[in-house]
Amino acid sequence: MLRRMSLTADVLSHGVLPGVAAGFLLAGLSLPAMAFGGLLAGLVVALGAGALSRATGGREDAALAALYLVALAAGVLLVSLRGGPAELTHILFGSALGIDDDALLLMAGTASVTLPALAFAWRPLVLECFDPDFARAVGARGGIWHLGFLALVVLNLIAAFQALGTLMAVGLMMLPAIAARHWARSIGGMVYVAVGLAMLASIGGLLLSVQLDAPTGPAVVLTAGLGWASSVLFGPVDGLAARWWRRPHLAG
Amino acid sequence: MSPATIRLAELTLSHARHPAVHHLSGSFLPGSLTAVVGPNGAGKSTLLRALAGLHPVHEGRIEGAAGQVALLPQAATLDRHFPLSCLDVVLFGLWAEGGAFRALPRDAAARARAALAATGLTGFERRPVGSLSAGQFQRLLFARLLLQNAPVLLLDEPFTALDARTAADLLTLIRRWHGEGRTVIAVLHDLDLVRAEFPETLLLARDPIGWGATAEVLTASNRLRARMMAEAWDDAAPPCDGRAVA
């Protein structure tokens, strides 16, 4: 989000799909096969997206959009080769109530890896986002941190797709982050707000899906979307309400 | 503070094979204070970026620059709405001491405050970068450069968008760096300033027009030659036969 790479996250989520589908094709609805396939495909797409971005001089949006359309089509086709609409829905949109022990362990493991890794890479990541040239000039190896971060994103997508589906998982990732911009002015503050919003959205979405008997993934993402919309409206930083409510200017 | 000599040998830098800097040879001596002048598109910024290792060398060589230079980029190339405080940005100037993981030195915050004060930004520590004006942002980058404490300083249009008082303050800083024996290379457009403050000048119009004592380089005939540089690329140009055209 901070690097104007929101589209890349979208591409990654779609890029995971053919890998998951290939795993499904070979081994059925088996978690290890699908997770491994998704991880592999996601990493390939992350590298490919990075290369595309360099080749197009930073104006990668059209190329990335092309990539994710192709990935989505390939994934759907692969799943349809073996499964029916039920399996397709399961992979695309997930089912939080169908999670087994393996999936839970994968999620817990991913979370345990991701948090320390992010804390570890915090300084170089922030520098690489703010001023990549400076990072390069002082030998901070920003590119490696950037790739490592994308790998973490892929890992988390894989962990989440069981519950939310490949298409919905990225929503829970992006929406709270985008919303957080309206609540905090520092990066640290944004992270806290984003995590809090994501937790609210997960719990709220789960309750909603039980109450309305609706699929979980979309319910969670819609709840996150509601959080985003209210942030745009009522957030203190560049929110619409803050713009309308004109307070008198200060003396200095 | 003992910078090494930076030698350029037949240096050619290019954008999509078209030369931005063409067959440039010469040296920046230790402790020299050089202005790089020339028309728009003459390759001045590209030269500085190459010295900082940010632009690939197409042909020829740069010797002695690696590891000792710090670059003040053109402020316009950065995202000024990033959610960082001024203190955070300045502290990145200590990267060489802290790196990715090590703790910053004990006096880091004090040194960062001193750098902010030296660039007229006292009291801006907690201000988000997004709330700065263009001139204030330029001064913030200057403060970061101060903390980098490099033997060779590359300044890309350091006075753009600055008011007279700030420009004078920063010029004092440049004089101080020169007095400390650092090598300073600055891209500038104000020729009066160059004549008054910079002993050496490199006049660049893709091809080197002149490099040496400022008074000898900034002659009327040299400036006319620089002005005649064809700004557009020649799409039908053949591969270069190895000699400067100008």
Write out pLDDT tens, residues A144-200: 888 888 888 888 888 887 778 877 888 888 899 889 888 888 888 888 999 999 999
pLDDT per residue as tens digits for the range A35-49: 888 888 888 888 887
Considering its fold, how many domains does chain A have in total?
A: 1
Q: What is the CATH number of the domain that holds B53?
A: 3.40.50.300
B43 and B160 together in one domain = yes
**Pairing mode, strands B59-63 and B69-72:** unpaired
The answer to the question of residue B111 being in a domain is yes
**Which of B71, B1, B75 has the alpha carbon at shortest distance from B31?**
B1
Residue matched to tokens 């620059």: B65
| Chain A residues touching residue B89 (CB < 8 angstroms) | 130
**Which of B149, B145, B4, B1 has the alpha carbon at shortest distance from B62?**
B4
Boundary (domain end) residue, out of B149, B175, B202:
B149
In this structure, are residues B151 and B183 in contact, taking their beta carbons and an 8 Å threshold?
yes
Residue matched to tokens 């709270």: A176
Give the model's pLDDT for residue A22.
Answer: 85
The answer to the question of residue B246 being in a domain is no
| Rg, Å, chain A Cα set | 19
Give the model's pLDDT for residue B177.
Answer: 92
| Identity of the residue in A123, A134, A181 whose CB atom sits nearest the CB atom of B100 | A123
| Identity of the residue in B54, B89, B130 whose CB atom sits nearest the CB atom of A133 | B54
B60 and B163 together in one domain = yes
CA B86, CA B91: separation in Å to the nearest integer?
A: 9
- To the nearest whole angstrom, how far is the Cα of A187 from the nearest Cα of chain B? 6
Q: Do A186 and B70 touch (CB under 8 A)?
A: no
The tokens of A137 are what?
Answer: 């000039």
The answer to the question of residue B84 being in a domain is yes
Give the model's pLDDT for residue A68.
Answer: 80
CA A159, CA A145: separation in Å to the nearest integer?
A: 21
The answer to the question of residue B245 being in a domain is no
pLDDT per residue as tens digits for the range A51-84: 777 666 656 677 777 888 888 888 888 888 877 7
Give the model's pLDDT for residue B184.
Answer: 94
Burial class of residue B106 in the structure, from the number of CB atoms within 10 Å of its CB (0-12 exposed, 13-18 middle, 19+ buried): exposed
| Identity of the residue in B52, B95, B130 whose CB atom sits nearest the CB atom of A140 | B95
- To the nearest whole angstrom, how far is the Cα of B22 from the nearest Cα of chain A? 23
| Count of Cβ atoms closer than 10 Å to residue A102 Cβ | 13
B143 and B100 together in one domain = yes
Q: What is the ipTM score, two decimals? A: 0.78
Boundary (domain end) residue, out of B149, B164, B189:
B149
**Which of A13, A7, A2, A1 has the alpha carbon at shortest distance from A52?**
A7
| Identity of the residue in A121, A131, A136 whose CB atom sits nearest the CB atom of B78 | A131
Boundary (domain end) residue, out of B94, B116, B149:
B149
The answer to the question of residue B178 being in a domain is yes
Longest Cα pair distance anywhere in chain B, in angstroms?
A: 59
B5 and B127 together in one domain = no
Give the model's pLDDT for residue B243.
Answer: 60
Residues 6+ apart with CB under 8 A from A245: none
CA A163, CA A21: separation in Å to the nearest integer?
A: 16
**Pairing mode, strands B152-156 and B183-187:** parallel
- To the nearest whole angstrom, how far is the Cα of A19 from the nearest Cα of chain B? 34
Q: Do B84 and A2 touch (CB under 8 A)?
A: no
Helices (H), A56-100: 61-82, 85-93
Q: Do A186 and B85 touch (CB under 8 A)?
A: yes
Mutate to test the interface with B, among A3, A129, A131 (most CBs of B within 10 A): A131
pLDDT per residue as tens digits for the range A114-151: 888 888 888 888 888 888 888 888 877 777 888 888 88
B143 and B154 together in one domain = no
Mutate to test the interface with A, among B79, B86, B97 (most CBs of A within 10 A): B79
Q: Do A2 and B71 touch (CB under 8 A)?
A: no
Domain around B8? 1-68+150-236
B13 and B24 together in one domain = yes
| Identity of the residue in B92, B99, B101 whose CB atom sits nearest the CB atom of A134 | B92
Share of chain A above pLDDT 90, in %: 10
Give the model's pLDDT for residue B191.
Answer: 92
Give the model's pLDDT for residue B246.
Answer: 45
CA A149, CA A117: separation in Å to the nearest integer?
A: 9
Sequence length of chain B is 246
**Pairing mode, strands B6-15 and B59-63:** antiparallel
Whether the per-residue pLDDT at A96 is higher than 90: the answer is no
Q: Please indicate if any CB of chain A lies within 8 Å of the CB of B95.
A: yes
**Residue stretches of chain B with pLDDT short of 50:** 246
Among A206-215, A220-229, B169-178, which is the least confidently predicted range? Answer: A206-215
B108 and B145 together in one domain = yes
The tokens of B96 are what?
Answer: 């060489």
Whether the per-residue pLDDT at A226 is higher than 90: the answer is yes
The answer to the question of residue B85 being in a domain is yes
Q: Do A137 and B77 touch (CB under 8 A)?
A: no
Confidence of residue A23 (pLDDT cuts 50, 70, 90): confident
